[in-house]
Structure 1
Amino acid sequence: MQGGKSNLLFLFILIFLIHLPFSQGSYVMDKVNSFFFDPLKDNSNIDLQLSRNYTIIEKGIRILQRTFRDNFTVMSNNCSAFKKANALPYPLFLVNDPFGPDVPGEKELSSGEKRAISIKGNGFVCTASTYGFFVPFHHFRFFINASKENVIKLVIYWNGTFDSDQVRLLLWNYNSFGGRGSWSCVRSIERKGLNTIVIADNPKDYVSKKGYVDVIVLPAIDNANPPTMIKTYYISLSVTVSHYHKEAIIVTKPIDPGALWRWEAVKYNRLLSSGAEVKCFILDQNARVIKSLEGNEEGFSERYISICKLSSEYPRIRLKFVLKTKDPKVSPYLLNYTVLWQRDERKWRDTLTWNYANDPRIDEVGKDYIISTPIYSPPGYWWSKLHFNSSGTVRISILDEKKNTIVANASDGYNMSSLCYKAIRLKAKFIGNETKRPILENWSIVFNESKEPPEFEKINVSYANKPIENFTVRVWDEDPGLLPSTAKYRLVYKKNETLKFFISDWLPAKCSAESCSKEAVLIAENVHIFYDPELENILNLSGEREITLCYIQFYIEDAAGNGATEKYKILIDTTPPKSRILESVSDLGFYHGFEYINLSAEAVDNETGIKSVTLYFFISFDNMTFDGPYEYETLSSPPWNWSFLPLGSAYYAFLTIAVDNAGNVEKKTEKEIILMCDTRKPDPPQFERKVHWLSSNEVNFVNFSDDLLLYKIRYKIKGQGFVWHDVAEGINARSFNQSWKFDQYDWEMMEEGKEYYVYFDITDRVGNEYLTPEDGEALLIAKDTRKPVAEIDKIKVWQWKTPIKLTTYVSDKESGIRKVELFYRFSPDNKTWSEWKLYGVVEKVSGEYTWDFSAPDGDGYYKIYIRAVDFAGNEEISECEIVGITIFPFKYVATFISAFVVFAVVAFIVAKRF
């Protein structure tokens, strides 16, 4: 019995130890609380075969930097040596700067001379000037085979003697004078023997881009005992180079959580300086990038990465960190990382300890509150219930990812299904007192399964003939609703006449719907159907330009993370369709009345097919100038047949315009067929409503008209024995105002003075007919061929005063007198006469009429007659009467008598006085 208790105790202890966090090296694997933490103090969880160029220091992991030193002597293949006996002393030596590091006149050392100074104690090279005012020098050129940017120190060892005060060590400075370069004196040497010259300040200035360093040993002038001499026993160059890496890669070993429902997140800490970055990649256990995780191929620069899309199909994962820097002297630091996961099916859970700051799922710890890291709803799942266990007063709130409050004081078991947030946080606020400290033991969220993806509308094919300004599709999701922020699209182009495709990057689709909407409209804006330079930014074309759009693919997720995609086929057609009217004028006839005209057409498009055909018409009233076109009717499916009803009398021209399914519009302006349509009968003839007296059979007062074209006019006099006669035929004009005559037989049958009704039969060019309906609309005429009577009574030959009374007499038995005119002519001497002049007119008189003739031309002779005209136009002229007129000057005689009387009275008064 006791042995059984011992075994049970042993089993309990074993289970307890298994679930404790364990550490192998510096990392911590806690399978109870579902996290892995690596402080990166050693390589214990780093795959050394896949990682490179990094080093671990106390601060963390940084990019590896190494230094090394090379020594160069004269005998090495990396050195050339020269000498010159006569050169200008310093600073006059600087006149050689324009020639660069190659000094004019210098000679290369022989192999024996180079061998003598390449090893200490092996010999020397001695050079002396031949003139007192010149100095000799030795020139050494070293090739260091290193980038000048990586050189951190130059050390020159020179052992030699000289007979002047000093020698100057000159180096060619490649960066002076704006990069033109010059000789710079880096040291003055006064001690003979071995000298060490260290150049640590900006040593790269003395290194060319190709890795050359030029050194000249130049003595001062020996003024005491010229000429000047210099000996070199040994020279070498030591170069210290730092090898900086600009990139380091750290790949972890596989992280095995054991029991797993879903991966949760990756957290890492870093230190960055300007120009440096750290990116994290999520790998499968075979160290391959998991491409299904959006953004993973480019890497994550965020310090908190949600990986809740990864389920147990990835039982183990690795992390890959890439450290980069633009400045090789500055490195970013990777400090540590944490991997989180969840074990329980459909649940996020965090079991808290008293030290909240050490909990990897706690992001912020305040004096009396804590806030969790972001919690994401996994794909195919949505929020259901909130649960927590606590002691004391703890108030739980739900926040959005940016820590704004969504729900305050949520209770245990709170229903979260109405939330519309992809990510949330939990906040606990502790309401304590001096005697009791509240404790939150754990909190958790239960998820409901929601795996139905959104549904896109189905479109068999779309057509385009120009850049698509807005390509619009609709999408639906019932529960929990759409997430517009995930809406995107990409374009698929095909190389013309091949099967090579180019697929663009994903681009954000325009979507104005709210989060969790049940329906949304996605828009791809400004889509090019052919090559455009803008496409270079989203396609890897490699110079290809002969491309055509063939698909637009949309993608969106619902709030539960279920993604849906739909690809829409695009057919490009830039060739307009063709159409034509099948009937000709000979088929239809040119002339038409108010009737339906049946027209039909054929339309052809070899690419996208015909979408519609529209019949257009033009209107003209002279068959020359047309107005239009005007749309008559648009048909969207064959047969392309129309029944055209004229709007009014006019010439109508017709054409058809076809539109294909890509929106190409047929370009056509030439009229296909022209017809004349006269929809009204001719106008009633225009004449004055009265009896028209005729003196002959000619008629010139009746006007005929039609709204388009007259063709034929006939008349018939009402009465026994009269028949129809033609007035005119083949008129083909809108009006007929010419004179015409009654048939001679009809004229002769008409009785003098009798009224007759004349009926008209008028037809236009299409056969519309006007027939005088009744007497009230007929032309009323009467025949009057007899002249009227016109007489003037005899006048005394000589008259002494005016006006003269002239008595006339006129009469007409049939139509009556229309007017009487009085004419005169004047002669001062009864020999020469003026032209006849009209004195006056009276109308509609009959019988006797007296004129007052006032002799308008003064004294003299007047011939006078009258002319009478009847209503039929017959006229008669009376006989001519002559009369002489002398008007007595009563005014002048009275004036003369008045003046004479005045004179007589004045004369009498004067005579009486004197």
Structure 2
Amino acid sequence: MQGGKSNLLFLFILIFLIHLPFSQGSYVMDKVNSFFFDPLKDNSNIDLQLSRNYTIIEKGIRILQRTFRDNFTVMSNNCSAFKKANALPYPLFLVNDPFGPDVPGEKELSSGEKRAISIKGNGFVCTASTYGFFVPFHHFRFFINASKENVIKLVIYWNGTFDSDQVRLLLWNYNSFGGRGSWSCVRSIERKDLNTIVIADNPKDYVSKKGYVDVIVLPAIDNANPPTMIKTYYISLSVTVSHYHKEAIIVTKPIDPGALWRWEAVKYNRLLSFGTEVKCFILDQNARVIKSLEGNEEGFSERYISICKLSNEYPRIRLKFVLKTKDPKVSPYLLNYTVLWQRDERKWRDTLTWNYANDPRIDEVGKDYIISTPIYSPPGYWWSKLHFNSSGTVRISILDEKKNTIVANASDGYNMSSLCYKAIRLKAKFIGNETKRPILENWSIVFNESKEPPEFEKINVSYANKPIENFTVRVWDEDPGLLPSTAKYRLVYKKNETLKFFISDWLPAKCSAESCSKEAVLIAENVHIFYDPELENILNLSGEREITLCYIQFYIEDAAGNGATEKYKILIDTTPPKSRILESVSDLGFYHGFEYINLSAEAVDNETGIKSVTLYFFISFDNMTFDGPYEYETLSSPPWNWSFLPLGSAYYAFLTIAVDNAGNVEKKTEKEIILMCDTRKPDPPQFERKVHWLSSNEVNFVNFSDDLLLYKIRYKIKGQGFVWHDVAEGINARSFNQSWKFDQYDWEMMEEGKEYYVYFDITDRVGNEYLTPEDGEALLIAKDTRKPVAEIDKIKVWQWKTPIKLTTYVSDKESGIRKVELFYRFSPDNKTWSEWKLYGVVEKVSGEYTWDFSAPDGDGYYEIYIRAVDFAGNEEISECEIVGITIFPFKYVATFISAFVVFAVVAFIVAKRF
């Protein structure tokens, strides 16, 4: 019994110890609370083979920065040496500047000479001028194999003798004169001076871009004992280089959580300065970037990274941190990182400690509240229930990711399925007093499985002939609904005549739907179908321009993170289709009445196929100028057949316009076929509704017309023995107003004074016929060929007063008198006569009629006659009557008598006085 208790106690202690957090080095692995924390105080969880250029200090990890020094002598492979006996002394030596660091006339030292001065005490190189006004020099060129920007100090050691007062040390300055360069005197050495020269001010000026340093030892002229001589026993160059790395990489060892449902998040803290950055990458256990995490290939700069898309298919992961700086003297710092995961199936859980500030899933701790880090619904799962355990009064709220309240005072077991947020936070507010402090022991969220992805509409192929302004597709998701913020698209182009494809970056698709909508429309805007400079921003074309759009691929997720994608094929066609009417005028005939005209067409498009064919028509009334085109009917599938019904009488021209599936419209303006359509019969003939008396068989008062073209006119007089006769044929005009004649036989058969009805048969050009329907619509005529009677009574030859009464007589037994006209002419001497003049007209008189003739031309002779015209047009002129007219001057006689009486009275009075 005692042994059994001991074993049970030992087993309990063992289980307890197994579940305790443990650490190797400074990191903490807590499999109970499902987190891993590394304060980065040492390399205990850093893979040293995969990490580089970093150092760990008390503050954290930073980019490694260090310096080193290299020495160069003449015998090293990194040095060349030259000499010259006769050179111009300083400063005249500077005339060599235009030639660069290679001085004209200098000769390279032999291998023996170089060996003599490569080691102290091994020998020397001596050079003397041959002329008193020249000086010798030694030239050394060192290759330091370092970037000039990293050089912080140059130290030149020269050991030698000279027989003048001093020797000058010249270095080629690569930055002087705007980069052209020149020799600069950096030191003058007298016999008593030290021969070590330190260059710490701007040493990079004396280093070329390729890493060369040029040194010349030039003595002054020996004026006392010319010529001048210089000996070099030894020379070396010491270079101090700073290795400031601009990038450090830290890769962790695999993190093994043991029991795992899903990974949750990565948190890390860093310190940044201007021009610095830290990025985090999530790797699998073999240190490969997990590409299924969106944005992981570029790296995450956020300090909180959700990795809930990773399930237990990744049992272990690593982290990779990349520290970068633009200024090598400034480094960012990586302070620590935490990895979170969940081990219980379909559950997010945080077993809280009494010290909330140390809980890795608590983001904010206030005086009386705590707020969790963001909680994401994993792909294929959605919110179900909220649970928590507490003692005391604790009010739990649900917040969005930005800490705005969604649900206040949620109860344990709260149903979260109606939430429409991809990420939430939990907030606990503690309502306590001085004696009792509320405690939240744990909180958790249960997820429901939701793995059905959204469904895109199916489109076999789309067509385009110009940049696509808006390419739209529909997408559906029943539960929990769509997440429009994840909508995106990318473009696939193909190099012409090859199988090489170019795939664009993912671009945001336009989507105006609300989150968790069951249906949405995604739009790709302004899509180029051929090369455009704008595509350089989204495609890696490498100079290729002969490309054509072939696919548009859309992607969207539902709120549960289930992603769906659909690729839509695009066929590009910029060539318009062709179509033509199959029938010709000879097939159909030119003339048509009010009837259906059957037209058919053929249409061809070798690229995307025919979408529609439209029949257009034009209208003209003279077959010269046409109005239109007017759309008659559009067909969207073959056969391309139409039954055209004319709108009215006119000339109709037809053509077809085809449109292909890419939207190319056939460019055609020339009319293909012209037909004449007369939809109405000719108009009834126009004449006055009365009896028309004819004196001859000619008719000129009947007008014929048609809305388009007359062709033939016939007449027939009603009555026995009369037959149809042609008035005109082949008219081909809209009206006929010419005179025509009754057939002579018909005319002779007509009786004088008898009325006859004339019927007409009028045909237009297409065969429409008008036939006089009844007597009431017929032309009523009567024959009258006899002249009327016209007489004037005899008049006295001389007349003394006006007006003269003229009595006339007219009559006509058939048609009646239409008018009577009185004519006269005047002669003052009965010899010379004026032209005949019309005196007056009276109409529709018969029998006697008295005229008042006023002798309008005064005293003299007048000849007078009348002309009678009947309604048939027959006329008769009376015999002429002559009359002389002298009008007695009553006014003048009365005036004379009055004057005589006045004279007589005056004479009588005068005689009586005297």
Q: For residues 805 and 368 of structure 1, do their structure 2 counterparts lie closer, same or farther at Cα, with a shift above 3 Å needed? A: same
Q: Which residue does the alignment assign to 2:103?
A: 103
In structure 2, distance between residues paired with 1:211 and 1:530: 48
Contact kept, 8 Å, 2:798 with 2:883, in 1: the verdict is: yes
Mean Cα deviation higher: 100-109 or 210-219: 100-109
The SS at the match of 1:382 is: strand
1:789–1:876 Cα contact (<8 Å) kept? yes
Task: For residue 447 of structure 1, report the CA deviation from its aligned partner.
Answer: 1.0
**Alpha carbons of structure 1 residues 39 and 882: separation in structure 2 relative to 1, 3 Å:** same
Q: Distance in 2 between matches of 1:228 and 1:615?
A: 108
Higher alpha-carbon deviation: 290-299 or 168-177 = 168-177
SS in 2 for 1:745: helix
**What is the CA deviation profile of residues 729-756 of structure 1, one whole-angstrom value per residue up to 9, with x for unaligned ones?**
2322221111111121221222222222
Q: Secondary structure at the match of 1:156?
A: strand
Q: Partners in 1 of 2:489 and 2:767 — Cα distance? A: 67
Q: Which moved more, 1:848-857 or 1:81-90?
A: 81-90
Distance 1:885 1:650, change over 3 A: same
* CA gap 1:53/1:114 in 2 versus in 1, 3 angstroms: same
Q: Is the 8 A contact 2:278 2:323 kept in 1?
A: yes
Range 670-679 or range 159-168, more displaced: 159-168
- Preserved contact between residue 159 and residue 192 of structure 1 (Cα < 8 Å): no
Change (3 A) 1:699 1:366: same
**What secondary structure, in the 3-state scheme, does the structure 2 residue paired with 1:238 have?**
strand
Contact 2:715 2:761 in 1 (8 A): yes
Cα offset for 1:477?
1.2
1:838-876 alpha-carbon deviations (Å, 9 max, x no partner)? 333332233333444444455555443332221111112
Q: 2:214 & 2:897 partners in 1: Cα distance?
A: 153
Bigger mean CA deviation after superposition, 797-806 or 833-842: 797-806
Q: 1:712 Cα shift? A: 2.0
- Deviations, residues 92-149 of structure 1 (Å, cap 9, x unaligned): 6656544444456666666666555544445556677889988765544333232212
Note if contact 1:251-1:321 (Cα within 8 Å) is conserved in structure 2: yes
Q: CA offsets, 1:527-577, max 9 Å, x none?
A: 333444433333334444444433332221111111122233333444444
339-348 or 69-78, which moves further after superposition? 69-78
Shift of 1:57: 2.8
Cα deviation, residue 765, structure 1: 2.4
Distance change (3 Å), C-alpha of 1:328 and 1:741: same
Q: Deviations over 1:599-641 (max 9, x none)?
A: 3444444444443333333322233333233222333334443
Shift of 1:361: 1.2
Compared with structure 1, are the counterparts of its residues 104 and 572 closer, same or farther at alpha carbon in structure 2 (3 Å cutoff)? Answer: closer
- In structure 2, relative to structure 1, the CA distance for the partners of 1:911 and 1:401 (3 Å cut) is farther
C-alpha spacing 1:59/1:864, structure 2 compared with 1 (3 Å): same
1:301 alignment counterpart:
301
The number of residues matched between the two structures is: 914
Task: For 1:461 and 1:787, locate their aligned partners in 2 and report how far apart those are by CA, in whole Å.
Answer: 93
The 1:218–1:814 alpha-carbon spacing in structure 2 relative to 1, beyond 3 Å, is same
Unaligned runs of 5+ in 2: none
Distance 2:199 2:368 in 1: 60
8 A Cα contact 1:159 1:194, kept in partner: no
- Is the 8 Å Cα contact of residues 251 and 320 (structure 1) preserved in structure 2? yes
Does structure 2 retain, via aligned residues, the 8 Å contact 1:491–1:553?
yes
Q: Which runs of 5+ in 1 are unaligned?
A: none
Contact 1:160/1:194 (CA < 8 Å) preserved in 2?
A: no
Q: Contact 1:269 / 1:337 at 8 angstroms: preserved in 2?
A: yes
1:5 partner SS:
helix
Q: Report the CA distance shift for 1:472/1:860 in structure 2 as closer, same or farther (over 3 A).
A: same
**Per-residue deviation, 1:259:** 0.5
8 Å contact kept, 1:74–1:236? yes
Task: State which drifts further: 709-718 or 819-828.
Answer: 819-828
1:657 Cα shift?
3.4
Cα shift at 1:887: 6.1
| Closer, same or farther: CA 657–402 of 1 in aligned 2, 3 Å | same
Q: Which moved more, 1:710-719 or 1:442-451?
A: 710-719
Superposed CA RMSD in Å reads 3.5
Deviations 1:157-194 (A, max 9, x none): 23455677765544332223332333444345456343
Mean Cα deviation higher: 32-41 or 902-911:
902-911
More off after superposition, 152-161 vs 131-140: 131-140
Report the 3-state secondary structure (helix = DSSP H, G, I; strand = E; otherwise coil) of the residue aligned with 1:898: helix
Quick check: 1:552–1:567 contact (8 Å CA) kept in 2? Answer: yes
* Cα pair distance change 1:900/1:567, threshold 3 Å: farther
Tell whether the 8 Å contact from 2:165 to 2:191 is kept in structure 1 after alignment.
no
* Shift in alpha-carbon separation, 1:907–1:482, aligned structure 2, 3 A: farther
> More deviation in 630-639 or 763-772?
630-639
CA distance in 1, matches of 2:904, 2:82: 163
C-alpha separation in 2, matches of 1:352 and 1:133: 93
Q: 1:545 to 1:96 in 2, by over 3 A?
A: closer
Structure 1 residue 482, shift from structure 2 partner = 0.7
Rounded to whole Å, the distance in 1 between the matches of 2:853 and 2:334 is 137
Does the 8 Å contact 1:127/1:136 carry over to 2? yes
Look up the SS of the partner of 2:628 in the other structure: strand
Report the CA distance shift for 1:231/1:601 in structure 2 as closer, same or farther (over 3 A): closer
1:696 offset after TM fit, Å? 0.3
> Is the contact made by 1:159 and 1:193 (CA closer than 8 Å) also made in structure 2?
no
Mapped contact 1:617–1:628 kept (Cα < 8 A): yes
Q: Which moved more, 1:100-109 or 1:649-658?
A: 100-109
Indicate how the Cα distance of structure 1 residues 126 and 827 shifts in structure 2: closer, same or farther if over 3 A, else same: farther
- C-alpha distance 113-635 of structure 1, shift in aligned 2 (>3 A): closer
Shift of 1:707: 1.4
CA distance 1:168–1:860, shift in 2 (3 Å): farther
CA shift, 1:357, in A, is 2.0
The answer to whether the 8 A contact 1:135-1:229 is kept is yes
The verdict on how the C-alpha distance between 1:126 and 1:461 changes in structure 2, with shifts beyond 3 A counting, is: closer
Deviates more, 1:795-804 or 1:209-218: 795-804
Distance 1:222 1:266, change over 3 A: same
Alpha-carbon spacing, 1:913–1:786, altered in 2? closer, same or farther (3 Å): same
Q: 1:702 Cα deviation (Å)?
A: 0.3
Contact 1:603 1:610 in 2 (8 A): yes
Cα separation, 2, equivalents of 1:435 and 1:380 = 46
Structure 1 residues 692-740: Cα deviation after superposition (integer angstroms, max 9, x where no partner): 1111010000011111222222222222332222222232222111111
Q: Secondary structure at the match of 1:40?
A: coil
TM-score normalised to structure 1 length: 0.91
Cα pair 2:394 2:431 within 8 Å, conserved: yes
Q: Compared with structure 1, are the counterparts of its residues 576 and 133 closer, same or farther at alpha carbon in structure 2 (3 Å cutoff)?
A: closer
Distance 2:905 2:164 in 1: 167
- Sort the Cα spacing of 1:823 and 1:42 in 2 relative to 1 into closer, same or farther, 3 A: same
For residues 104 and 882 of structure 1, do their structure 2 counterparts lie closer, same or farther at Cα, with a shift above 3 Å needed? farther
User: Which stretch has the larger CA shift, 33-42 or 467-476?
Assistant: 467-476
For the 8 Å contact 2:251–2:318, the answer to whether it is kept is yes
Q: 1:407 aligns to what SS in structure 2?
A: strand
Describe the shift of the 1:856–1:242 C-alpha distance in structure 2 as closer, same or farther (beyond 3 A): farther
- Shift, 1:20, TM fit: 1.0
Select between 253-262 and 286-295 the one with higher mean Cα deviation.
Answer: 286-295
Q: Percent identity?
A: 99
Give the distance between the partners of 1:404 and 1:910, measured in 2 at CA.
150
Shift in Å, 1:330: 3.4
Further displaced range: 118-127 or 32-41: 118-127
Change (3 A) 1:184 1:355: farther
Larger displacement relative to structure 2 (473-482 or 794-803) = 794-803
> 1:74 Cα shift?
3.8
Whole-angstrom CA distance in 2 between matches of 1:258 and 1:597 = 85
Q: 1:825 to 1:197 in 2, by over 3 A?
A: farther
SS for the counterpart of 1:904 is helix
Partners of 1:913 and 1:531 lie apart in 2 by: 144
In structure 2, the CA distance between the partners of 1:68 and 1:849, relative to structure 1 (3 Å rule), is same
Q: Aligned pair in 2 of structure 1 residues 690, 137: CA closer, same or farther (>3 Å)?
A: same
Is 2:448 the counterpart of 1:448?
yes
Question: Alignment partner of 1:193: what SS?
Answer: coil
Partners of 2:910 and 2:164 in 1: how far apart?
Answer: 167
SS at 2:417 equivalent: coil
CA distance 1:104–1:584, change in 2 (3 Å): closer
Q: Which moved more, 1:736-745 or 1:827-836?
A: 827-836
Q: Partner residue of 2:654? A: 654
Distance 1:588 1:37, change over 3 A: same
**TM-fit CA distance, 1:261:** 0.6
TM-superposed deviation, 1:219 = 5.7
Measure the CA separation in 1 of the matches of 2:136 and 2:575: 86
